[in-house]
Chain A
Amino acid sequence: MVGFKNRFMLMEVYLDPEKDLLGEGTPVILTKLNLSEAIKDSILVNFGECGLASCLGSFHVAYVNPVTKLCIVRSSRDEHRRVWSAMTLVRSVGNCPVVFNLLDISGCIRACRDAALKCETEKFNQSGKGLSEEEIREMNRKMRTPRTLEVWKLGTVNYLKSLKLQDKLVSERKANRIPDTLLSLQHPPTYTLGKRRTDHNLLIPEAELKSIGAELHYTQRGGDITFHGPHQPILYPILSLRSIGFGARSYVEALERSMIEFSSLYGVKARAGNKCETGVWVGDRKIGAIGVRISSGITCHGLAFNIDPDMKYFEHIVPCGIADKEVTSLRRETDAQLPSEEVIHEQLVTCLAKVFSYDDVVVKEDPSAILNTLEDDD
């Protein structure tokens, strides 16, 4: 997927440039946080708020090794020169004077990682001194293998079928037989309820649902009642929270950020919900919904984003149990020409992969490969 073009810069940080110690008595410990603060400050000082704002979305410190003082910084291709010059102008991290030196720049993290490994092994060979157990463990933990997200594009899938599929994938993920997986799909008109079974928020009798061409399903996910239908892309990430280092709250916040990032592609300024109003809003209107279930640390269900669904269906519910707020769609919020649904789905997936910092995205386009296996299990 090359929707977002990035540059990965491998930098070496010289602390107190007179000395160059390896692992011993360093004046400041480099962390992702203090490095990214120092670089962002430098961008702000040298390029102003406008410069900072344009770099911020894609800027990310991907790797920091406090022992060898190497770090890998990601930036979008368009902004990387700005970030690069700002890094060169960084004078201090914390209270310690520093100098940044660029060692390598490449378009994919793999090449950058290889260069980093090479540089670090050389450093260790040169220094010839032993590192403590602690430092070695720290290094091994950081030189992790790239994280891959497997994406299945499933088209329109019946809701019950998708539930069965998710159950199956959750047990596969728990047993580590599959990597982190993402289902990208849509549903035929369907109303769904969460674990709290708030069916008082369904405003028409269940019997009438068939006449409007919709189904109703009860689920174990969090959240209130919602509607799914054509022209509303849905993403169900089946991820191991432990392997991505998130708790429930930070996971949901990352899902919100994915949708906010996606909206910004069309110039729509979306925001995360206030307390108790989880989801993605444009002003007072809800454009993206979230409902998640976490079972043995594996996520299922996920998010739904309104591109251009039939809004009349929302009139039959109190969406997400929030009575006085409207529901909106991308179609309503922007006059921009919308590309094909396929492109839109891909963009949404790319935004999610970016927010969750996946190094690799592998797209599987043959839905029958997993959908058909469901028949066998029945």
Chain B
Amino acid sequence: MALRMWASSTANALKLSSSASKSHLLPAFSISRCFSSVLEGLKYANSHEWVKHEGSVATIGISDHAQDHLGEVVFVELPEEKSSVSKEKNFGAVESVKATSEIISPISGEVIEVNTKLADSPGLINSSPYEEGWMIKVKPSNPAELESLMGPKEYTKFCEEEDAAH
């Protein structure tokens, strides 16, 4: 556990992309799931989306853990600008390996910008889920909703428990 947090902060400090940080630093006996990175400074939902709150703008995307479990993304469906999203309701979908998965919004608000690069390069979600693979920017209508989301440590634990439960 300590090793993972160390690796995670090293990866962040060196600004390594998520695929590089998934290195095989696993101790010999651990349950063999590939380690996904969790960034500091973001909030996470239990449906694996992240929110970066900067002033009046919140950026939303899906976590490294989520993109790893999805497989290679081939298509992204996003809402239009000026539409509204609601907490815990789906706002779009991602297609990978012949499976379309819904993306759930962690907060409510109005969509002010959509990442148009994803239409041509949906793979950005896999290669850079926290940076280039951002999905929408939202003006939060209720900033208190951010409090109920998980911080990086809680989210890491949540992912581990999910993976280990089977």
Decide if B162 touches A242 in the complex (CB within 8 Å). Answer: yes
Which of A29, A33, A244, A251 lies in contact with B99, CB distance below 8 A? Answer: A251
Q: Which residue of A lies closest to B68 (CB)?
A: A247
Of B47, B68, B95, B165, which one neighbours A222 at CB under 8 angstroms? Answer: B95
Contact between A195 and B29, CB atoms less than 8 A apart? no
Looking at A258-266, A293-301, A333-341, A347-355, the stretch in contact with chain B turns out to be A293-301
Binds B, one of A109-117, A274-282, A309-317: A274-282
Question: Helix, strand, loop or mixed for chain A's interface?
Answer: loop
Residues of A within 8 A of B96 (CB): 222, 248-249
- Whether a CB of chain B sits under 8 angstroms from the CB of A223 is yes
Taking a contact as CB atoms under 8 Å apart, the answer to whether A252 and B165 are in contact is no
Q: Please tell me the number of chain B residues within 8 Å of chain A, measured between CB atoms.
A: 29
A34 and chain B: residue at smallest CB distance: B29
Q: Is B101 an interface residue (CB 8 A)?
A: yes
**CB-based contact B69/A249 at 8 Å:** yes
Q: Mark A203-245, 1 if CB is under 8 A from B, else 0.
A: 0000000000000000011110000000000000000001011
A195 touches B75 (CB 8 A): yes
Please give, as numbers and ranges, the residues of chain B lying within 8 Å of A242 by CB-CB distance. Answer: 162
CB distance from A62 to the nearest CB of B (A): 12
The distance in angstroms between the C-alpha atoms of A278 and B96, with both chains bound, is 10
* Contact residues of B between 57 and 84, Cβ < 8 Å to A: 66, 68-72, 74-75, 77
Query: Residues 59-76 of chain A: 1 if any B CB is under 8 Å from the residue's CB, otherwise 0?
Result: 000000000000000000
Q: How far, in angstroms, from A223 to B165 measured CA to CA in the complex?
A: 30
Min CB–CB distance B126 → chain A (angstroms): 11
CA distance A247 to B48 in the complex (A): 11
Q: Is A156 in contact with chain B by the CB < 8 A criterion? A: no
Residues in A with CB closer than 8 Å to B98 are 194, 221-223, 252, 278-279, 290-292
Tell me whether A171 is interfacial, beta carbon within 8 Å.
no
Q: Which residue of B lies closest to A293 (CB)?
A: B100
Query: Of A33, A195, A291, which is within 8 A of B31 by CB?
Result: A33
Give CA–CA (A276, B75) in the complex, Å.
12
A28 contacts the other chain (CB 8 A): yes
Give B121 Cβ to nearest chain A Cβ, in Å: 15
* Distance, CA A251 to CA B101, complexed state (A): 12
* B-chain residues with CB within 8 Å of residue A293 when the two chains form the complex: 99-100
Tell me if B29 and A94 are in contact (CB < 8 A): yes
Q: Report the bound CA distance from A221 to B100 in whole Å.
A: 6
For residue A141, CB closer than 8 A to chain B, the reply is yes
Q: Are B71 and A248 in contact (CB under 8 A)?
A: yes
Q: How far is the CB of A370 from chain B (nearest CB, A)?
A: 24
Judge whether A195 and B69 touch: CB under 8 Å. Answer: no
Within 8 Å by CB of A247, from B69, B75, B95, B165, lies B69
B70 and A195 contact, CB distance less than 8 A:
no
Query: How far apart sit A296 and B74, CA to CA, in the bound complex (Å)?
Result: 20
- Interface positions, chain A 122-175, Cβ under 8 Å from B, are 141
Is there contact, CB below 8 Å, between B77 and A292? Answer: no
Q: How far is the CA of A221 from the CA of B93 in the complex (A)?
A: 10
Q: How far is the CB of B90 from chain A (nearest CB, A)?
A: 7
Q: Contacts A195-B75, A244-B166, A276-B72 given: A295-B102 contact, CB under 8 Å?
A: yes
Q: What's the Cα separation between A251 and B29 when bound, in Å?
A: 26
Contact of B74 with A276 in the complex, beta carbons under 8 Å: yes
Given contacts A94-B29, A248-B71, A249-B71, contact A220 B100 (CB under 8 A): yes
Hey, which chain A residues are within 8 Å of B148, CB to CB? none
Asked whether B72 lies within 8 Å of A28 as measured between CB atoms, the reply is no
Least CB separation from B74: chain A residue: A276
B32 at the interface (CB under 8 A from A): yes
- The reply on A250 being an interface residue by CB < 8 A is yes
Indicate if A31 sits at the interface (CB-CB under 8 A).
yes
Taking a contact as CB atoms under 8 Å apart, the answer to whether B102 and A294 are in contact is yes
Query: Are B71 and A252 in contact, CB atoms less than 8 angstroms apart?
Result: yes
Interface centre among B66, B74, B77, B166 (most CB of A within 10 A): B166
Is A292 a contact of B72 with CB atoms below 8 Å? no
Does B32 lie within 8 Å of A33, measured CB to CB? yes
Interface presence of A5 (CB below 8 A): no
A196 sits at the interface (CB 8 A): yes
A96 to chain B, nearest CB (A): 10
What are the nearest 9 A-B pairs in CB distance?
A247-B69, A245-B166, A249-B71, A292-B99, A223-B98, A294-B101, A278-B98, A222-B100, A248-B99
- 16 more contacts with CB within 8 A, not counting A195-B95, A279-B98, A292-B99, are A141-B165, A194-B98, A222-B95, A245-B163, A245-B165, A249-B71, A251-B99, A252-B98, A252-B99, A275-B72, A278-B97, A290-B98, A293-B100, A294-B101, A296-B90, A297-B47
Q: Which residues of B contact A (CB under 8 A)?
A: 28-29, 31-32, 47, 66, 68-72, 74-75, 77, 90, 93, 95-102, 104, 162-163, 165-166
